[in-house]
Chains A and B, each alone.
Chain A
Amino acid sequence: MIRLPRRRWLGLVGLAALPRPVHAHAILVESDPPHEAKVPEGERVLTFRFNARLDRLRSRLTLIGADKTQTVLALLPGSDEVLSARAVLVRGPATVRWQVLAMDGHITRGDVPFTVTGG
Chain B
Amino acid sequence: MELLVDLFGYLSIVLHGATLAGQAIALGGALFLVLLAQPKAWLLGATGARISDGVARLAGWAALGMAAAEAASVALPALLLADTLQMSLMDALGAQFALAGMARTVLGLVLAAMLFGMGGRAPWWLVLPVVLGVLATATLSTHAAARLEGSLPLLAVSGIHQFGAALWIGGIPAFLLALRRAQVPGAMVVVGERFSTISIIGVACLLGSAGALWWAYIGDVHGMYGTAYGVMVSAKSAMFAGLLLLGLGNFRLIRRLKRERGQSPTRLLRFAEVELGVGIAIFFAASSITSVPPAVDLRDDRVTMQEIVERNWPQWPRLESPDHAELTQPALQAKLDAEAREAGRKPQLAFNPGSGILPPRNAADIAWSEYNHHWAGLFVIAIALLALLHRAGLGIAGHWPLVFLGLAGFLFFRSDPEAWPLGAVSLMDSLRDVEVLQHRMIVLLLVVFALFEWRVRITKQTSGWQPKVFPILTAVAATALLTHSHAIANVREQLLIEITHTPLALAGLAGAWARWLELRLDPPGNRAAGWVWPLCFLVVGLVLLVYREA
A residues bordering B, Cβ < 8 Å?
Answer: 1-20, 22-27, 29, 51-55, 57-58, 60, 80-81, 99, 101-107
> A81-B148, A104-B140 given as contacts; is B442 within 8 A of A1 (CB)?
yes
Instruction: Enumerate chain B residues within 8 angstroms of A60, measured Cβ to Cβ.
Output: 84-85
0/1 interface trace, chain B 485-496, chain A, CB 8 Å (1 if under): 101111101100
B residues bordering A, Cβ < 8 Å?
Answer: 2, 5-10, 12, 77, 80-81, 83-85, 87, 91-92, 94-98, 100-101, 140-148, 151, 290-293, 297-298, 301, 354-359, 361, 368-369, 372-373, 376, 411, 414-416, 433-435, 439, 442, 477, 481, 484-485, 487-491, 493-494, 497, 501, 504, 549
Instruction: Enumerate chain A residues within 8 angstroms of B8, measured Cβ to Cβ.
Output: 9-12, 14
Q: Chain A's interface: helix, strand, loop or mixed, by majority?
A: loop
Instruction: Enumerate chain B residues within 8 angstroms of A13, measured Cβ to Cβ.
Output: 2, 5-6, 354-356
**Seed contacts A2-B373, A17-B355, A58-B87; 11 additional CB < 8 Å A-B pairs:** A3-B415, A3-B416, A7-B434, A8-B489, A11-B8, A11-B356, A55-B95, A58-B95, A60-B85, A101-B97, A104-B97
A23→B292 contact, CB < 8 A: yes
Alpha-carbon gap, A81 to B151, bound state (A): 13
Sample of 19 A–B contacts (CB below 8 Å): A1-B411, A3-B368, A6-B359, A6-B435, A9-B8, A9-B487, A11-B6, A14-B6, A15-B84, A18-B356, A25-B290, A27-B298, A58-B92, A99-B85, A104-B145, A105-B96, A105-B97, A105-B101, A107-B77
> A8-B356, A8-B489, A17-B355 given as contacts; is B9 within 8 A of A105 (CB)?
no
A4→B81 contact, CB < 8 A: no
A105→B141 contact, CB < 8 A: yes
Alpha-carbon gap, A105 to B439, bound state (A): 29
Instruction: Enumerate chain B residues within 8 angstroms of A10, measured Cβ to Cβ.
Output: 8-9, 12, 80
Instruction: Enumerate chain B residues within 8 angstroms of A52, measured Cβ to Cβ.
Output: 146-148, 293
Beta-carbon nearest neighbor of B416 in chain A: A3
Most chain B CB within a 10 A radius of its CB, from A23, A53, A58, A106: A58
Beta-carbon nearest neighbor of B487 in chain A: A7
Alpha-carbon gap, A20 to B229, bound state (A): 21
Beta-carbon nearest neighbor of B488 in chain A: A7
Query: Which 3 A/B pairs are nearest by Cβ-Cβ distance?
Result: A105-B97, A14-B356, A9-B9
B291→A99 contact, CB < 8 A: no
> A1-B481, A5-B497, A52-B148 given as contacts; is B84 within 8 A of A12 (CB)?
yes
Beta-carbon nearest neighbor of A79 in chain B: B148
Alpha-carbon gap, A118 to B350, bound state (A): 38
> A5-B497, A104-B141, A105-B141 given as contacts; is B356 within 8 A of A26 (CB)?
no
Instruction: Enumerate chain A residues within 8 angstroms of B376, measured Cβ to Cβ.
Output: 1-2
Alpha-carbon gap, A1 to B544, bound state (A): 10
Most chain A CB within a 10 A radius of its CB, from B2, B297, B415: B297
A-B CB pair tally, cutoff 8 Å: 189
B9→A53 contact, CB < 8 A: no
Instruction: Enumerate chain B residues within 8 angstroms of A1, measured Cβ to Cβ.
Output: 376, 411, 439, 442, 477, 481, 484, 504
> A7-B488, A53-B147, A104-B140 given as contacts; is B80 within 8 A of A15 (CB)?
yes
A105→B98 contact, CB < 8 A: yes
Beta-carbon nearest neighbor of B8 in chain A: A11
Beta-carbon nearest neighbor of B497 in chain A: A4
Instruction: Enumerate chain B residues within 8 angstroms of A53, measured Cβ to Cβ.
Output: 145-148, 151
Alpha-carbon gap, A83 to B95, bound state (A): 17
Alpha-carbon gap, A46 to B87, bound state (A): 24
B146→A103 contact, CB < 8 A: yes
Alpha-carbon gap, A85 to B493, bound state (A): 34
Q: Write the nearest CB–CB distance from A35 to chain B, whole angstroms.
A: 12
A101→B493 contact, CB < 8 A: no
Beta-carbon nearest neighbor of A5 in chain B: B494
Q: B80, B85, B96: which contacts A103 (Cβ < 8 A)?
A: B96
Q: Write the nearest CB–CB distance from B151 to chain A, whole angstroms.
A: 7
Instruction: Enumerate chain A residues within 8 angstroms of B6, measured Cβ to Cβ.
Output: 9, 11, 13-14
Instruction: Enumerate chain A residues within 8 angstroms of B493, measured Cβ to Cβ.
Output: 5
Most chain A CB within a 10 A radius of its CB, from B2, B85, B356, B435: B356
